[in-house]
Structure 1
C-alpha cells in the first residue's frame, strides 16, 4: 500500500481533492481502478488486464474527451470524472460520470469531486441548464454521492438499458442550478 493510501486509511480523513486534465503519464494510476473488478462492476467497461489496453483507451477515449478530468489527491489521480453532452439537440443537458479506485471508497472524495464540477461546469459549458447522472439501482454508494452533492433523485427508469448482458433499472438524478 502506498504512503498516500496509508495516510487516508489511518486518519479516515480525505486529502485535498483537485481536478485536472489527464496525461498519458497517468497510465499507471489509471490502470489501478480500471483493472479492479470491484470498480468495473459499476461501469460499462470490462476490467482491463494490461497497461497497453489502458494506454490505448486513454489515447482513443480519455484524452480526446471534451470534459474529462482526473480526480486527484495531492496531484495524483485516484479516479476520473466526466461531463458529456450526447447530441446537438440536447445541448441544454449533459451527463455526469465518475469512477474512483476502490481503496478510496467511502472517504467523501468522489462527493467532493462532484461538488468541484458543480462549481464550474455551468460556466464552462455554454447553454448548460441541467446535469444528469444515471446510476444502477443496486449502486447505493453512488446514489449517496449524488445526494450529498446536492442532486435530486427524479425516479427509477425501469428496464432502461442492457448492462453487462442484463436488462437493468437505473435511477435518474439531476442538478439544476436554479433549483438549488
Structure 2
C-alpha cells in the first residue's frame, strides 16, 4: 500500500457511527460473526457507547483515517492474563487487498508493546472462513488445530480453528 492509502488503527468513537454502519449492516461481513447485521443507528450508537468505548483494546481499522473496519483484543485476568483473543471485521468493499493482514500485524505489535503480561494472542476462526485463515497465516499466526463443536452461532454449533501468535514469534 502506498502512503496515499495509509492503514492505521485508532479508537472508534460515536462520531464514527456512519462509517461503522457500512460494515455493521452488511450481511457478508456478519456472516461468520456472532452478531446479526445492525438495523438501526441507535443500536450502533448504544454498542459503541456501551461495548466499544469501555473495551480494554478496541480500535478502528482506518484507511486514510476513515474507519473501514474494527479490530479488538480481549484482556484477561488471573492465570489467563498472559493471553488475549483477537477479532476483526472489515467492510466487504475492502476484502482481498491485504488491509486486514496489515491491521492484524499492527495490532499484535501494539498489544505486545502495551501489555507486558501478554505472551500470546489467539484468534478463533470458523472452519469455513478461509479468508480469515489466510489473513492470520500471512500475519505470522500459527494454526494450532480445530476445536470441534466449540461455538454456537445463530443456533448452529460450529467448529473453530485456533490460531496463535506468541510474543517471541512477532515479526514485521
Bin for the TM-score computed over the shorter chain:
over 0.9
Residue number in structure 2 paired with 1:5? none
SS of the residue corresponding to residue 55 of structure 2 reads coil
- 1:21 aligns to 2:11 (yes or no): yes
Q: Where do 1:149-164 residues align within 5 Å?
A: 149-164=139-154
Offset, 1:153? 0.3
In 2, distance between residues paired with 1:152 and 1:77?
28
SS of the residue corresponding to residue 38 of structure 1 reads helix
How many pairs were matched up? 169
- 1:173 aligns to 2:163 (yes or no): yes
Residue number in structure 1 paired with 2:23? 33
Offset, 1:87? 4.2
TM-score (ref. length: structure 2): 0.94
CA RMSD after TM alignment = 1.6
Give 5+ residue unaligned stretches, structure 1: 1-7, 9-13
SS of the residue corresponding to residue 48 of structure 1 reads coil
Q: Which moved more, 1:64-73 or 1:78-87?
A: 78-87
Moved over 4 A (4+): none
Give 2:111's match in structure 1, choosing from 112, 117, 121: 121
Q: Report Cα offsets for 1:33-64 as digits up to 9, x if no partner.
A: 11001111111111111111101111111111
Offset, 1:165? 0.5
Offset, 1:155? 0.6
Q: Is the 8 A contact 2:140 2:169 kept in 1?
A: no
Residue number in structure 2 paired with 1:106? 96
In 2, distance between residues paired with 1:97 and 1:88?
21
